[in-house]
Structure 1
Amino acid sequence: MKPRRNTWQREAVRAALVGAHGFVSAQQLHQTLRDSGSTIGLATVYRALASLTEDGEADSIQAPEGENLFMSCGSTGHHHHLICRSCGAARELDATVVEEWASKVGAEHGFAEIEHVIDLFGICAACRAKEA
Structure 2
Amino acid sequence: MPATIRDRRNTAQKEAVTHALETACGFISAAELHQRLSSEGISVGLATVYRQLNALVETGRADTVPVAGGQLFRACEPGDHHHHLVCENCGTAVEIDPPSEDWILATAARNGFTVTRHILEVFGRCAACPV
Do both proteins adopt the same fold according to a TM-score greater than 0.5, normalized to the shorter chain?
yes
Q: Deviations over 1:28-56 (max 9, x none)?
A: 00000000001111011011111111111
- Structure 2 segments unaligned to the other structure (5+ residues): 1-7
**Which residue of 1 is the match for residue 32 of structure 2?**
28
The Cα of 1:85 is off from its aligned counterpart by 1.3
Aligned equivalents of 1:9, 1:25: Cα separation in 2? 17
Percent identity over the alignment is 48
1:106 and 1:114 in contact (8 A); partners too: no
- Structure 1 segments unaligned to the other structure (5+ residues): none
Deviates more, 1:76-85 or 1:50-59: 76-85
Distance 1:75-1:57 versus aligned 2 partners, 3 A rule:
closer
Matched, 1:80 2:110: no
Residue type at the aligned position of 1:38: I
After TM superposition, the score normalised by the length of structure 1 is 0.83
1:103 and 1:114 in contact (8 A); partners too: no
Distance 1:124-1:75 versus aligned 2 partners, 3 A rule:
farther
The Cα of 1:109 is off from its aligned counterpart by 3.1
**Which residue of 1 is the match for residue 4 of structure 2?**
none
The Cα of 1:111 is off from its aligned counterpart by 2.7
Matched, 1:107 2:109: yes
1:68 to 71, 78, 82: 71
**Which residue of 2 is the match for residue 124 of structure 1?**
126
Aligned equivalents of 2:77, 2:96: Cα separation in 1? 11
- What SS does structure 2 have at the residue aligned with 1:126? coil
Residue type at the aligned position of 2:119: V
